[in-house]
Amino acid sequence: MEDEEETLVRSRTPMYRLYFKGLVTEEATVISAGFGIAICGDKDDLLFDMNRPIHEPAITRLEAEIIALKCGLEEAVSMQIKDISICCDNEQIFELVMGRSMLEQENITMLIRDVQGIRQYLRSSIPVLLTRTQANFAYEFAIEAIIYMPVHVPVQEDMHVQKEFCSICMNDDINADHMFGNELCGHKFCSDCVRSHIEVKLAMSSSVTCPGYKCNSRLSYRLCVNILTPELKEKWEQKIKDDSIPVTNRGYCPNPRCSTLMSETELSGQFGFRQYCVKCNEPFCINCKVPWHSNLSCNQYNRLHPNQTVNDILLMELVNEKRWRQCRKCQHMIELSEGCSSLICRCGHKFCYDCGADTGSCYH
């Protein structure tokens, strides 16, 4: 029996391996960081390698490692690789990728979220913890990325201030210290344009990505905090808090003038079904998701209010017109713009967009 199981595991073993390494060194007051990645075949034959410096200030070794992993997975997807082993020589990263641990740092959380999102495009991506004696191809590439980093010479006081060009506002007379650079992709824009871009992204509740054309590199709050207004800081911090709430655990205040997002598990259970909005303090029923129904049980309230509200009717008309589907697990509305009808909701539930049935239980 054990031999059969071993044979089955081997048959599922990916034919490709991803090695990655991020390094951070500090000499005097200068911090240098870089990463290297290597994608190999089943016999560790090198198929692809890359090394790059990382210019983000005050970066940690863990961040550099995860950035290396993210870039390696992106390259594997672009190479149309379907199955790959993620070779980790760092036990902490291995546990993070496996989903067994989580860190409180917002920047680490966002990077890991990016990694897990990219893994969705692979059929299988199996984390493997390397032993100390096993070779890490990416280590030498990471060393090279740091060694060959360009040396930045401080501008002397008697020299002219360097001027730079922003491709968004087309201003070519911007002081270098007024430019904002995204270290992950190398794009640079003036701080005013980046600030306006962040404001729009937050207003749309979208991920804050680099404003570069077709660039999907994310901007971290820590990297951007110095160019944000107090209002934008507050909005971004609220977005980080909202994003940390699992989809299946989200609840909204039923007060139409409020609609604040809340975590159902964080709401105090001392009042039973009767809870209070954390913002407007209006009472509501956490079971029915409606304003609090005094002297009525949930069943009694539902019997007295069997008909849909005007807003419910308008919503269903829009759903039918746009052919949206609602996830049975988290009730989230989904619109399919293109691609296969077999979907994976952000809560993890798999279902058919054509009929709404669970994946595998229909003929589509």
Cα 235 to its chain centre, rounded Å, is: 18
Q: Are 73 and 111 in contact (CB under 8 A)?
A: no
Residues 290 and 282: beta-carbon distance below 8 Å:
no
In the residue annotation, 190 being an active-site residue is answered as: no
| From 340, 345, 347, 355, the catalytic residue | 340
User: What contacts 24+ positions apart, CB below 8 Å, involve 106-112?
Assistant: 106/220, 106/221, 106/222, 106/240, 107/63, 107/220, 107/221, 107/222, 107/223, 108/62, 108/63, 108/66, 109/244, 110/218, 110/220, 111/63, 111/66, 111/67, 111/70, 112/66
SS3 content of the chain, % helix, strand, coil (to 5): 35, 20, 45
Here the tokens at position 132 are 């100390």
H-run or E-run covering 201: helix 191-203
> Catalytic residue numbers?
340
